[in-house]
Structure 1
């Protein structure tokens, strides 16, 4: 039997939260959302299953307008020189979502990075907007002071091969001892 409830809390960085249904808290896991990211107050329908840790929602249907929906995805590729890339998402099976650097907070998104985004449908297909990096990648970007690739301009050879998966610092000069 399908139950209804309201998302009580959800942490997109960790991928879990709780639904409140008939005065009971039900665990909600990202994997049961079919690629849709929920916020506090989002209405859902679901069935429950009992686990050793308590009740968990499954077969979750998010009740939201597509214009308001946010999605989970992963940066499939991003070319910082050209300023665009693609996102894959369970919510859009077998279809890449186009991504422009202007839709990413710091203008850079490392490949393989989990993200949250909204979608607009354009003539050539879906386009990501309001892209937010999640998890460790978000922490790494904030640790760098939000530099992204914008902040790397002028750093020259001193920063090594940023964006190629190797974040190696190389000195710009060497002293002879």
Structure 2
């Protein structure tokens, strides 16, 4: 992400900042962001995150957001960008260790919908539109993609490979974010 040192508010009083997710709890419906410039914690409400196309965000994810000062404190009013956490503490998934990184990244993004996901179990399944075959979603893949949880019915874009246990996601993108990043996927 490009860091902007001088931040100014637009006509609506929205200031664009860069920061890091301190924590986000999708069950509670909110979390907090810490600005690169310092200052008080910034409230990130689930509705603002949903407007971006995601139902969760991983702790320590890098974000670019629009904020406003309110009588209840500083709050995020828009999410412009989310980057996965830079430090990956998790061990590599055994399903990926024999695959070339370029092979994983070259898999096309495919439109999908979450069938179910259980954060406690650390996995779930999705289906590519028009195909009833299950695609395995591992929680570590979500974290590496900047997500913390998924909701049934949530629209996504997935990079899918055939692993030792069948079809599995190697990357998860919010539907709206994927359309921007890989626009040719959605062209007619």
TM-score (norm: length of structure 1) = 0.45
**Bigger relative contact order, structure 1 or 2, given CA contacts below 8 A and separation 6+?**
2
Bigger radius of gyration among the two: 1
